[in-house]
Structure 1
Amino acid sequence: MNQDDVHEMREMMIAKQVARIIPELKLVDPADFIVFIHDEHFANISDIIDAATELHFYPHTVRFANGGNYQLDWNTPPTITLDMEFSNDGVTAYFHIIMSPEGFGIELDNVVFENPQDDEADTRQLIDALNNARLRKSANK
């Protein structure tokens, strides 16, 4: 499997887990995110992320990484991008949540492993770290 396939697979795994918090994030008016990003009120965004994740993940495993962006013009609805970090069991992933009226997406920047091995073992470690970060585990991982 080439590096692009590995990257895409890891991105999809993170997106599947993060999808749980998107409904809560979409309750926030996009204008609020825009103001918080523009004025660099990152603590406000961090509080929103913490509230959205608290029912799904253990504390501080999925958190806001103090950055974001927005696209806003007269002809299209806004798109909000939030810098995020996942950290658990020796795995740290840096990614962006991209939200628009059409839905959401995840853009993975990098995954860092405390004890890296090969792609297959590292991907397995990421899966385990994601599952171990969840408060409610399902029978099928």
Structure 2
Amino acid sequence: MKRLSDRAPATSFRGYVDVNAFEEVLACNIKDVIADFCLVDAEIIQSYVSNELHGNMDEIVSSCAELFFKGHTLSYARSAAISTALGQPPCVVLDMEFAHDVVSVDFKLILGEFSVGVHINRVLLEELPEADFDPHFFAKIVTSARLRPLPPRFRSPYCPTDSLRH
């Protein structure tokens, strides 16, 4: 695991570490938000995305996230699309952002008919953390952004067992 160089404090980490581990940490921590989001009628979501009603989508995402994360930590990035593959049901792809402490993560939330996915596009660091930036350190940051501890059934191996909040 390489530490980011001191010359590039606000840089992407994609070339340095396993992105799948970071995606797992993020996905585990937003499962309750996604569960809340899935209570919204799929046709309404598809209509908002198709008609580019970003304000409405922002309100839905904000109301789902406000129960679990500190204000404006997890937000809709005002871009969405409906992905259609031949022979596959459509899926909604939302651009999202997680920003807390020294980390800002741009990611896509993919909502399929029977599955949900998280794809990290970019991670930016405002300053170099004191420790190496690895999935465990990222899990501590994401956990500290939550209003309530992560339920045990949602934890990934990278998530700390105790809840750090500040």
Greater strand content: 1
Output one character per residue of 1:76-109: Cα deviation in whole Å (capped at 9) or x when no partner. 4321111000000010000011011212010010
**Structure having the higher Rg:** 2
TM-score after normalising by structure 2 = 0.74
Structure 1's consecutive aligned runs of 4 or more residues displaced over 3 angstroms after TM superposition are 1-5, 72-76
Q: Structure 1 unaligned runs (5+)?
A: none
Q: Paired residue for 1:30?
A: 42
- How well do the aligned residues superpose, as a CA RMSD in angstroms? 2.3
Which residue, out of 121, 126, 134, partners 2:132? 121
| Matched residue type, 1:122 | F
Which residue, out of 10, 19, 22, partners 1:10? 22
1:40 and 2:48 matched: no
1:131 and 2:143 matched: yes
Q: CA deviation at 1:73?
A: 7.2
SS in structure 2 opposite 1:121?
coil
Q: Paired residue for 1:140?
A: 161
Identity %: 24
8 A Cα contact 1:66 1:83, kept in partner: yes
SS in structure 2 opposite 1:122?
coil
TM-score after normalising by structure 1 = 0.86
Q: Structure 2 unaligned runs (5+)?
A: 3-14, 151-159
Output one character per residue of 1:20-73: Cα deviation in whole Å (capped at 9) or x when no partner. 211111112222222212221101001000111111111100000000111247
Q: Paired residue for 1:58?
A: 70
Q: Paired residue for 2:123?
A: 111
Which residue, out of 81, 105, 108, partners 2:93? 81
Distance 2:76 2:91 in 1: 17
Distance 1:106 1:68 in 2: 14
Higher RCO (C-alpha 8 Å, min separation 6): 2
1:68 and 2:89 matched: no
Distance 2:141 2:113 in 1: 30
Greater helix content: 1
